């Protein structure tokens, strides 16, 4: 077959794979938002069928042979990179035996149910045998993929292409030390010692919360004609195809939960909406990694949404309702630093510690230096060590996250990478537009949105995350940028 | 291959076909309810892919060969009928060439767009060339299917298995005469001559309408755990799988539009929810025909929802709001008879005439005795003849229904069949439970729901519609039952 026919063939395959995954995305979105309870069993079958069809396409010999031929050809830059990415995806998929995939699907499906029950009953023992099985299977999966170095690398690569344990360890070590030192300064400050949580205990009726969520999503660039917002237990973002991105939110006790979770998800949604249309229905219409994706959500949630400039613009809409009429008081309260048991309730400063704790544990589990039955003990010990607090029960501790029950090992580090990338991007943005905060104060986010689209979104998956960051920020992953950002911000907030 | 393996094989095929069609149903439901505008293009591709996969499965040689073998085998009663139905579906699908299917998909997709524009601009000329093309292709399709008798039979059979032009003509002739005679009596009555429309001109705020819609759907048996109600431009019912039926409604000028359209759709939804679970993911988990399906929606909308007993129960919730505090006045107003241009705004008495008009025209189009360009003239002439009124423009006339633009020729008759079956069923129900109206007056619909489930729903597609009606009502399709029902009801309402 000729080069052109092969390109056509692999595009046809990609088109079908991505149309399947879009239909799958809608089935999942509906499951989380509107599906009647009794539809669950059948929905699982519908999703399993689409997933298996998509997988069959990905591992088909016809596709593989075309890719093998194309690898030897002289291609245009875009086709070349498309072939390279798709080749790697296929290669990895073809390494994992069908039986292992099925075993994993069963184990994680039962595991998620068990995790839910264990969490409800605050009893890790219920989840323990399931997690053991899952770890065993994930180890097998990693052995099949067999990337160099740590076994963990083979799993991590799925979420953060090109990243390794070796590099993470190096980066996280300095970050951990820097955060702990910064926390010490914060805790020694007079303001910390006398701080009181007011805001989180206030009531904020749902209609007002939703009004603000819709307002802010639209302001930062999510038009109604290509996006929508719904409710689900856990907020998430999904894309059902070109021209249709959706995120969800929820109303929780914290009156700002919906607002910040929405800014976060809106950041993800803007990324999806900004992907390069010319590569739609190919592997290049995607983010290079979850860390890169997370950088966009963190950017909007933290760098913008928790910044002084943003609140200069938005404070008016809150102060009357909450009776906090002093701007500085409000800004400090929004950024209050306090150790928390729960990762998703964490402030920006403590956040990396939550992740490092999980990374250390899941790495140990996979490498065999930590046993599943020791988990609650180890978890609580690390919490005491890093946070100075200890969970009252497993629900507040080792059972708080769904990830492991779903077999997502190697996923957690991407959360920190997102924060670091976001800080680096914010620095680069301010270097290019020194007066960008003036825009934010006026509620004008157009320039920021365009800048992110130009520098991040429009590249899709053509470059690795690290390459994109290098091109935009002048250097690759650098945790010091995050530490700098935190130090500058919190030394002002806590006046030290 | 052995008999058991063949049965397993054909069940596997059916499972995949029906899981595809469920995913398709969700994509369609979402398209009509929540999808952002810009998702449309991609949605069309997603739906087309699932449809073509499902069709490929249906016409696969492996499936066909298994069916050929199974036809010769001695099977259990259920397997035997499953094989028979599936064989017929496959046989029909295999007769239509792929090119024709694709041509039809294109023509109807463009046709629907043109129809919409034509309707907006009230100009049949815009739609005319598209309809010509569609009729030509539908004629080809009918020639491929090639059932005995009229060409039209081959299309009709898709919607109403086993029904023929010959039988419809016979039934419709008497019905038309009976209706016209009844209308004459109504129009001659004193009440008709002095009647005034009050209700339809009243305001009824959306939240109240929706409160009643939700209330009535739940009362007649649609629990929240397996059903839901949303909004769409045109009300419809869909089933996304076992345990997940959904219908939509809309708010229009007529304050009772949402209420009655919801009772109608709820009837469809109850049918879907009542299908035999043991045949889920096979051809038997379906209604035998659209007419049978429509009988369930008409039953709840008309026989129950427009009956005196029902309003004795429900009147209280309306009278305060509408200021009609006289029960008889209310009941008469709900059942007011008046010729209307628009089919879906028609009363029960005129309704069959709307359908007969369409049936006569589409039969003529297919058989070649009516030309597409004559349509507006013929339509208006028949309106004058049957209704005594004439459309002001094509939007009020020949352009009011979407069906032909979608290639649905042979669909309209199922609407009357539904009304007739509904009347027959109501008669049979009252024979079995002479005091059933006492239940209705108390708002207790349990017995009716159970009776419909036992006599209709639970059979799925094991029997033809006519067989089910014969078993339940003691005789097959009989338009006189509908005429009797109308005569009894309307002679009281119009006091003649």
Task: Identify the contact set of chain B against chain A, taking CB-CB distances under 8 A.
Answer: 16, 19-20, 22-23, 26-27, 30, 34-43, 45-46, 49-50, 53, 224-228, 230, 240-246
β-sheet bridge partners, residue A239: A245
Note the pLDDT of residue B198: 83
| Chain segment A26-53, per-residue pLDDT in tens | 999 999 999 999 999 999 999 999 999 9
The model's confidence at residue A446, banded by pLDDT at 50, 70 and 90, is very high
B contacts of A12 (beta carbons < 8 Å):
none
| Chain segment B142-160, per-residue pLDDT in tens | 999 999 999 999 999 999 9
pLDDT at A1 over 80: no
* Average pLDDT, rounded, for chain A: 96
pLDDT at B346 over 80: yes
Phi, psi of B376 (to 5 degrees): -55, -40
CA of B359 vs chain A CAs: smallest distance (Å): 37
Note the pLDDT of residue A315: 93
- State percent of chain B over pLDDT 70: 100
The reply to whether residue B226 touches residue A37, judged by beta carbons under 8 angstroms, is: yes
Q: How far is CA A357 from CA A119, A419, A479, B270, in A?
A: 19, 16, 17, 52
CB A443 within 8 A of CB A310: no
Compute the residue count for chain B: 496
Note the pLDDT of residue A380: 98
CA of B88 vs chain A CAs: smallest distance (Å): 26
Write down the pTM of the prediction: 0.95
Query: Shortest CB distance from B42 goes to which of A22, A34, A40?
Result: A22
Query: Shortest CB distance from A42 goes to which of B34, B224, B243?
Result: B243
pLDDT at A320 over 80: no
* Average pLDDT, rounded, for chain B: 96
- State percent of chain A over pLDDT 70: 100
Residue corresponding to tokens 């006189």: B480
The reply to whether residue A50 touches residue B23, judged by beta carbons under 8 angstroms, is: yes
The model's confidence at residue B322, banded by pLDDT at 50, 70 and 90, is confident
The reply to whether residue A228 touches residue B36, judged by beta carbons under 8 angstroms, is: yes
Interface test with A, best of B12, B226, B243 (most A CBs within 10 A): B243
Which residues of A participate in catalysis according to the annotation? 265
The model's confidence at residue A323, banded by pLDDT at 50, 70 and 90, is confident
Give the residue from B386, B327, B311, B332 showing the smallest Cα distance to B356: B386
B contacts of A34 (beta carbons < 8 Å):
228, 230
Give the span between the Cα atoms of B378 and B370, in whole angstroms: 9
Give the residue from A175, A249, A253 showing the smallest Cα distance to A214: A249
* DSSP output for A406-450: GT--S-THHHHHHHHHHHHHHHHHHHH-TTHHHHHHTT--HHHHH
Neighbours of A215 (CB within 10 A): 15
CA of B38 vs chain A CAs: smallest distance (Å): 5
Q: Quick one: closest CA in A to B228, which residue?
A: A36
* ipTM confidence score: 0.94
CA of B376 vs chain A CAs: smallest distance (Å): 37
The reply to whether residue B35 touches residue A240, judged by beta carbons under 8 angstroms, is: yes
pLDDT at B320 over 80: no
Residue corresponding to tokens 């109303």: A251
Task: Give the pairing type, strands B227-231 and A227-231.
Answer: unpaired
The reply to whether residue A244 touches residue B42, judged by beta carbons under 8 angstroms, is: yes
- State percent of chain A over pLDDT 90: 95
Show Cβ contacts of residue B120 under 8 Å, excluding neighbours closer than 6 positions.
B395
* DSSP output for B220-238: TT--TTTEEEEE-SS--EE
The model's confidence at residue A495, banded by pLDDT at 50, 70 and 90, is very high
Vertex B352 angle, CA B349 and B357, to 5°: 130
| Chain segment A364-382, per-residue pLDDT in tens | 999 999 999 999 999 999 9
The reply to whether residue B37 touches residue A227, judged by beta carbons under 8 angstroms, is: no
CB A409 within 8 A of CB A138: yes
Query: Shortest CB distance from B49 goes to which of A19, A30, A42?
Result: A19
Q: Which of B265, B294, B360, B362 is catalytic?
A: B265
The reply to whether residue A243 touches residue B49, judged by beta carbons under 8 angstroms, is: no
Note the pLDDT of residue A158: 96
- Does residue B437 carry a catalytic annotation? no
The reply to whether residue A46 touches residue B224, judged by beta carbons under 8 angstroms, is: no
The reply to whether residue A36 touches residue B243, judged by beta carbons under 8 angstroms, is: yes
CA of A217 vs chain B CAs: smallest distance (Å): 15
CA of B57 vs chain A CAs: smallest distance (Å): 13
The model's confidence at residue B325, banded by pLDDT at 50, 70 and 90, is confident
Q: Quick one: closest CA in B to A30, which residue?
A: B26
pLDDT at B348 over 90: yes
| Chain segment B7-59, per-residue pLDDT in tens | 999 999 999 999 999 999 999 999 999 999 999 999 999 999 999 999 999 99
Give the residue from B450, B451, B462, B449 showing the smallest Cα distance to B285: B462
| Chain segment A170-199, per-residue pLDDT in tens | 999 999 999 999 999 999 999 999 998 888
* DSSP output for A42-103: HHHHHHHHHHHHHHHHHT-HHHHHHHHHHHTS---HHHHHHHHHHHHHHHHHHHS-HHHHHH
| Chain segment B101-139, per-residue pLDDT in tens | 999 999 999 999 999 999 999 999 999 999 999 999 999
The reply to whether residue A35 touches residue B240, judged by beta carbons under 8 angstroms, is: yes
Residue corresponding to tokens 């007969």: B356
pLDDT at B1 over 80: no
Measure CA B287 to chain center: 11
Give the residue from A128, A132, A164 showing the smallest Cα distance to A149: A164
DSSP assigned state of A244? E
Note the pLDDT of residue B328: 94
pLDDT (average), residues B315-328: 84
């Amino acid at each position: 077959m000729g080069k052109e026919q092969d390109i056509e063939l692999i595009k046809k395959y990609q088109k079908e794979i991505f149309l399947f995954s879009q239909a799958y995305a809608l089935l999942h979105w509906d499951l989380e938002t509107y599906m009647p309870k009794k539809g669950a069993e059948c929905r699982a079958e519908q999703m399993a069928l689409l997933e298996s069809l998509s997988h069959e396409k990905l591992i088909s010999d016809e596709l593989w042979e075309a890719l093998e031929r194309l690898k030897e050809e002289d291609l245009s830059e875009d086709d070349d990179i498309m072939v390279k990415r798709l080749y790697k995806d296929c290669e990895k998929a073809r390494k994992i035996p069908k039986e292992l995939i099925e075993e994993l699907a069963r184990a994680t499906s039962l595991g998620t149910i068990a995790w839910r029950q264990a969490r409800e009953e605050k009893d890790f023992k219920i989840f323990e045998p399931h997690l053991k099985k899952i770890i065993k299977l994930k180890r097998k999966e990693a052995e099949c993929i067999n990337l160099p170095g740590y076994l963990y690398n083979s799993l991590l690569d799925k979420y953060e292409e090109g990243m390794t344990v070796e590099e993470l360890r190096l980066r996280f070590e300095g970050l951990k030390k820097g955060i702990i030192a910064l926390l010490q300064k914060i805790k020694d400050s007079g303001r910390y010692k006398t701080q009181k949580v007011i805001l989180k205990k206030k009531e904020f009726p749902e209609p007002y919360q939703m009004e603000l969520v819709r307002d802010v999503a639209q302001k930062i660039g999510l038009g109604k004609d290509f996006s929508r917002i719904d409710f689900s237990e856990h907020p998430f973002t999904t894309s059902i195809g070109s021209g249709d991105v959706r995120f969800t939110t929820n109303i929780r006790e914290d009156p700002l939960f919906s607002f910040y979770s929405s800014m976060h998800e809106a950041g993800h949604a803007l990324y999806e909406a900004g992907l390069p249309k010319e590569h739609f229905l190919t592997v290049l219409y995607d983010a290079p990694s979850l860390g890169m994706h997370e950088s966009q959500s963190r950017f909007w949630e933290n760098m913008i949404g928790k910044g002084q400039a943003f609140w200069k613009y938005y404070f008016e809409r809150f102060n009357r309702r909450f009776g906090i009429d002093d701007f500085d008081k409000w800004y400090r309260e929004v950024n209050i630093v306090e150790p928390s048991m729960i990762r998703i309730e964490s402030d920006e400063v403590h956040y990396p510690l939550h992740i490092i704790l999980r990374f250390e544990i899941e790495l140990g589990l996979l490498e065999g230096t930590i046993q599943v039955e020791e988990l609650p003990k180890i978890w609580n010990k690390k919490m005491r060590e890093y946070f100075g607090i200890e969970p009252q029960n497993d629900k507040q501790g080792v059972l708080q996250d769904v990830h492991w029950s779903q077999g997502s090992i190697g996923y957690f580090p991407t959360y920190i990478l997102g924060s670091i990338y976001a800080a680096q991007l914010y620095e680069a943005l301010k270097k290019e537009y020194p007066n960008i905060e003036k825009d934010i104060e006026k509620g004008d986010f157009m320039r920021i949105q365009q800048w992110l689209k130009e520098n991040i979104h429009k590249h899709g998956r053509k470059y690795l995350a690290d390459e994109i960051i290098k091109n935009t920020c002048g250097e690759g992953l650098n945790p010091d940028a995050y530490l700098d950002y935190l130090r500058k911000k919190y030394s002002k907030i806590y006046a030290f």
